[in-house]
Every structure is written in structure tokens, then in C-alpha cells.
């Protein structure tokens, strides 16, 4: 039986037909609109208590890892890429690459003012403390792609999207459905490779696209929980967006149909790939969390005041809550905290750092590879901000000019570099003060000069 746990203020209610009407009002009031990882962590704690042991040790045994005897990071590696582009990389290589993030810049010149600008290069690695943190380069890039996709998908309805944390619509409102597909602890051992995780994502995507064929949806893959960064717990989150005026509530029968298809797909996959049939009791633990947010409504939330630390209830517009959910789901997971937590597990290090390199953790938003197109987009955005044209500087041989942080520090004094944000800096040189010219000496009164008289016509003088 499907057992979605809805909670508010420590109160939990089971989703049964008898209290379905109560749960409907419970969700409409915003009771279930918690962060999905908080719900997932609660589920993990219940599983740990049921197993009677440490869930991390159990999972590590499933995936062939351990807590001791981990070799050096230089010894943990794998071949990535195909054909002539294949190469062998190690975890230590990725760590060194992330350590040099933001240390090298591209040099630009303002075509109008001839000012010099520098754009520092991001490594784009999730284990990087700069790029992988919440609000870092990866997080910001994902948000930009998601919002751009929404604008393109619903350009007839949107005037502006995401200005100062709000969404302005020309017609209708933006509604959000959210699904969380979890895996019981006993099943996670089958999803510990890149191929298996990719199949897991596609499996869930097919279910949602079949149920909501005409609506934009985004898939987020999280490999770890938010509260327990060391626990391997892959789960797929789905966001379904629409502007139509419709009832977002799903009955228990509708959710049970989605769950039945989900369980059947997992059974078929495990049987086909591994030739195994897990204990039927395992499938009873599978849970599908569903919730929704209506953009034209207001929800009550408990918010912690950053200054006083007190928690108080506040009224939050539905559109702002939708933006919060998108922002939360788009964060890198795994992130830097997960890298620190799994350093004792060789298998997870190789899987997450090497084998999953380039994996699309967020799908439905177009391309994600970091390449020249991203640099061009950043240049265009900066040109729009500065209202000018920028030129990428090259040396006499036509090679792009790179400058390290140390070189730039030696070239300019304090106060000569202005931070423009997102890794861009502009050289601001102070003009030298020009001394005023000395005062001119006083002049005397003007002298009138009379012209010489012209000779009279017809009169000639001869000088002998």
C-alpha cells in the first residue's frame, strides 16, 4: 500500500481513502510543501531503525566499498570518453583541477573605451568549493537554463521571468507539481553505476511524460540526502509546470496507478539486467511523494529570522515558493560536502568523481556541457550590462591571452580592479592630476598703428 507521510508540526497522517478529504485540505494549506530532502531523510532514519544497524555500512557493503584501507586518490581512476578522445583520469586529477578554479583569467578589451577586463575561468566541478556550493557556478547555470526553458516554452504567457525573485505573468498563473521517486535500501545496490542511474532516470521520465504529455517537466537526480551526506540514496525529483486552470489534486487511485507502473518497471529492469527478484516485502517500502504549489495562492511557512534566529510564521506567495523549490532542486547533489563524506569509500569516489563525469543531473533544459557557448553567453551578458562591445585579446601568434591571479595582482594596484560579479573584473585607472598653467603676465595698453598713406595717382617721383 502506498504510504505518503504528510506532516506538520510533528503530526503525521496516513493517506487512506477515509481521510482523503482531510489530506486534500492539508496539502492545499501547504502542509506537505516541505523540502523533499527533509522528507527523504526522515524516511532514511526509519529505514536505519528498521534494519537495526548503520545504513552507511549496509550501503557500503552493497556497492563494494568500505571505511578503511582506501588507496591514495592518485590510484583511484578510470578511462573516460570514447575513441580517440578517451583518456585516463584519477580522482587526484579532478581535485587538482578544482583547486585551481578561479586562478586563471581571459583578457578582454572594451572596444569603445579601450578599458581592459578579465574573466576568471570556472572549473565546473561539483566537488569544487566555489563551483559546487549552493549559489555557485553550477547552481546558477542550472537555474538560468531552467528559467530560459520556461520562457521559451510559455513565451506567449510570460512577460518576464525571474526578476528580483518573482515571476511576472501576462496571462494566467504558473502551477507546479512535484514528485519524488525513492528507492528502498535493499534496491539501491542495483543502481550503483552510471548506466543504471541513467536507466533509472529514463524509467521515471517515461512515467511522468505519459501521465502529463503536454506539460513541461524537469528531472533532477540527487545521489545523497541533505542531512546525511555520506549515505548513498539516489532518488529522482520531477517538476511538472503548467499555466492551465485545473485541479492539481491527485486521488489515491491516480497515485497508486503511478506507483504500480513504477514498481513494475523496477522489477522488470532488475530481472532483465541482474536476473534477480527481490523479496516482495521490499516493494511495499517504495514511496512516491507528491505535492503541488499554485502560483496564485499564498502559503504559510515557518521562517527563521537570520538576525534574531527566531522562527515565525510568514505568508509566502505561491510564485515565490515555486522559485524556492526550483532553486533547491537545482543545487548540485553530490556537492563538496558529499566529497568530504565519501573519501573513505573507493567505489563511491570512482563512481561519483570519475564515472559520472559529464552526467546530466538535471534534464529537460537543453544542453549542459560547459564549452565555448557558455563563454559566448557570458560575454554577451557582460556586453549588455556595460552597453559596449568586448574583444577577446590574442598575442602576436593569434593565441588567446591568459593571465593568472598572481600576474594580475602584480600588474595593478589596490583599487584599480572593479569586481563586476560572476568572475569578471574591470581595470579602473585613476587619471593623473594635471597642474593648472601659470597665470599670464599683465599686458600694457594696446598701441595703435596707423597705416602708411598710399601714393596719389598720377604723381611720380624720380630719384637721381
Note whether 235 and 260 are within 8 A (CB): no
Average pLDDT over residues 399-413: 78
Buried b (16+ CB within 10 A) or exposed e, 361-381: bbbbbeebebeeebeeebbee
Model confidence band, residue 220 (pLDDT cutoffs 50, 70, 90) = very high
CATH 1.10.260.40 fits 5-70+146-333+356-365, yes or no: no
Note whether 298 and 327 are within 8 A (CB): no
The pLDDT of residue 237 is 94
The pLDDT of residue 457 is 56
DSSP per-residue letters across 293-356: EETTSEEEEEEE-TTT--EEEEEEEHHHHHHHHHHHHTS-SS-HHHHHHTTT-HHHHIIIIIIT
Using CA atoms, how far apart are residues 423 and 404, in angstroms rounded to an integer?
Answer: 13
Does 235 score more than 80 pLDDT? Answer: yes
What is the signed CA dihedral for 345, 348, 351, 353, rounded to 10 degrees? Answer: -80
Using CA atoms, how far apart are residues 42 and 132, in angstroms rounded to an integer?
Answer: 25
Model confidence band, residue 276 (pLDDT cutoffs 50, 70, 90) = very high
- Specify whether the backbone of 429 is left (phi greater than 0), alpha (psi in -120 to 50) or beta: beta
What long-range pairs does 403-408 form, CB within 8 A, spacing at least 24? Answer: 403/104, 403/105, 403/107, 403/118, 404/103, 404/104, 404/105, 405/102, 405/103, 405/104, 405/105, 405/120, 408/105, 408/118
Which residue is it, cell 517504495? 286
Q: What percent of the chain has pLDDT over 70?
A: 69
Average pLDDT over residues 420-448: 65
pLDDT tens, 137-147? 899 888 888 88
Model confidence band, residue 37 (pLDDT cutoffs 50, 70, 90) = very low
The burial class, CB within 10 Å (0-12 / 13-18 / 19+), for 52 is exposed
- Rounded (10°) angle between helices 55-62 and 36-51: 90
Does 66 score more than 50 pLDDT? Answer: no
pLDDT tens, 151-198? 766 665 554 444 434 455 544 578 899 999 999 999 999 999 999 999
The pLDDT of residue 71 is 76
Which residue is it, cell 587526484? 92
The pLDDT of residue 4 is 38
Model confidence band, residue 241 (pLDDT cutoffs 50, 70, 90) = confident
Which residue is it, cell 482523503? 20
Least confident window among 179-183, 386-390, 450-454? 450-454
Using CA atoms, how far apart are residues 32 and 89, in angstroms rounded to an integer?
Answer: 43
pLDDT tens, 281-291? 989 888 889 99
Domain spans in the chain, listed from the N-terminal domain onward: 5-70+146-333+356-365
The pLDDT of residue 266 is 94
The pLDDT of residue 38 is 37
The pLDDT of residue 417 is 80
Model confidence band, residue 41 (pLDDT cutoffs 50, 70, 90) = very low
What long-range pairs does 117-120 form, CB within 8 A, spacing at least 24? Answer: 117/382, 117/390, 117/420, 117/424, 117/425, 117/426, 117/427, 118/403, 118/408, 118/417, 118/424, 118/425, 118/427, 119/375, 119/378, 119/379, 119/382, 119/423, 119/424, 119/425, 120/405, 120/423, 120/424, 120/425
* More confident of the two residues 346 and 441: 346
The pLDDT of residue 336 is 93
Average pLDDT over residues 102-124: 85
The pLDDT of residue 436 is 55
Average pLDDT, whole number, for the chain? 74
The pLDDT of residue 132 is 92
Note whether 161 and 146 are within 8 A (CB): no
* More confident of the two residues 270 and 344: 270
Half-sphere exposure of 7 (CA within 13 A, CB side): 15
Using CA atoms, how far apart are residues 315 and 313, in angstroms rounded to an integer?
Answer: 7
Note whether 2 and 266 are within 8 A (CB): no
Find how far residue 125's CA is from the centre of its chain: 12
Distances (CA, A) of 270 to 117, 222, 286, 325, 359: 54, 21, 15, 32, 22
Helix and strand counts by DSSP (H, E) for the chain: 13, 19
Decide: pTM greater than 0.85.
no
Average pLDDT over residues 436-462: 59
Select, from the ranges 288-297, 384-393, 420-429, the one with the highest average predicted confidence (pLDDT).
288-297
Amino acid at each position: 500500500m502506498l504510504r505518503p507521510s504528510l506532516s506538520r508540526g510533528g503530526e503525521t497522517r496516513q493517506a487512506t481513502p477515509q481521510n482523503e478529504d482531510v489530506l486534500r485540505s492539508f496539502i492545499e494549506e501547504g502542509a506537505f510543501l516541505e523540502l523533499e530532502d527533509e522528507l527523504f531523510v526522515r524516511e532514511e532514519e526509519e529505514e536505519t531503525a528498521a534494519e537495526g544497524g548503520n545504513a552507511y555500512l549496509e550501503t557500503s557493503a552493497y556497492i563494494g566499498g568500505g571505511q578503511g584501507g582506501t588507496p591514495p586518490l592518485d590510484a583511484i581512476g578510470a578511462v573516460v570518453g570514447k575513441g580517440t578522445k578517451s583518456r585516463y583520469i584519477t580522482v587526484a586529477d579532478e581535485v587538482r583541477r578544482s583547486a585551481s578554479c578561479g586562478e586563471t583569467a581571459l583578457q578582454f578589451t572594451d572596444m569603445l573605451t579601450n578599458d581592459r577586463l578579465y574573466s576568471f575561468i570556472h572549473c565546473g566541478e561539483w566537488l569544487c568549493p566555489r563551483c559546487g556550493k549552493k549559489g555557485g557556478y553550477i547552481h546558477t547555470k542550472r537555474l538560468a537554463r531552467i528559467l530560459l526553458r520556461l520562457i521559451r516554452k510559455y513565451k506567449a504567457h510570460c512577460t518576464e521571468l525571474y526578476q528580483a525573485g518573482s515571476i511576472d505573468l501576462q496571462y494566467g498563473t504558473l502551477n507546479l507539481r512535484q514528485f519524488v521517486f525513492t528507492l528502498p535500501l535493499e534496491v539501491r545496490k542495483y543502481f550503483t553505476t552510471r548506466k543504471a542511474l541513467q536507466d533509472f532516470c529514463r524509467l521515471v521520465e517515461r512515467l511522468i511524460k505519459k501521465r502529463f504529455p503536454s506539460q513541461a517537466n524537469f528531472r533532477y537526480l540527487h545521489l545523497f540526502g541533505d542531512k546525511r551526506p555520506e549515505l548513498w540514496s539516489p532518488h529522482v525529483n520531477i517538476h511538472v509546470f503548467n499555466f492551465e486552470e485545473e485541479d492539481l489534486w491527485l486521488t489515491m487511485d491516480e497515485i497508486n496507478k503511478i506507483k504500480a507502473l513504477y514498481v513494475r518497471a523496477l522489477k522488470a529492469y532488475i530481472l532483465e539486467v541482474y536476473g534477480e527478484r527481490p523479496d516482495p516485502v521490499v516493494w511495499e517500502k517504495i514511496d512516491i511523494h507528491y505535492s503541488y504549489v499554485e502560483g496564485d495562492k499564498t502559503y504559510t511557512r515557518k521562517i527563521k529570522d537570520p538576525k534574531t534566529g527566531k522562527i515565525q510564521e510568514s505568508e509566502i506567495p505561491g510564485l515565490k515558493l515555486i522559485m524556492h523549490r526550483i532553486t533547491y532542486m537545482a543545487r548540485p547533489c553530490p556537492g563538496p560536502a558529499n566529497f568530504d563524506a565519501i573519501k573513505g569509500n573507493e567505489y563511491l569516489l570512482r563512481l561519483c568523481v570519475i564515472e559520472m563525469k559529464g552526467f546530466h543531473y538535471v534534464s529537460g533544459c537543453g544542453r549542459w556541457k560547459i564549452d565555448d557557448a557558455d563563454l559566448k553567453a557570458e560575454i554577451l551578458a557582460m556586453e549588455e550590462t556595460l552597453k559596449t562591445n568586448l574583444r577577446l585579446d590574442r598575442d602576436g601568434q593569434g593565441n588567446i591571452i591568459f593571465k593568472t591571479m598572481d600576474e594580475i595582482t602584480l600588474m595593478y594596484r589596490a583599487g584599480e580592479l572593479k569586481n563586476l560579479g560572476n568572475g569578471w573584473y574591470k581595470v579602473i585607472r585613476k587619471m593623473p592630476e594635471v597642474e593648472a598653467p601659470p597665470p599670464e603676465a599683465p599686458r600694457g595698453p594696446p598701441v595703435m598703428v596707423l597705416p602708411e598713406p598710399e601714393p596719389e595717382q598720377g604723381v611720380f617721383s624720380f630719384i637721381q
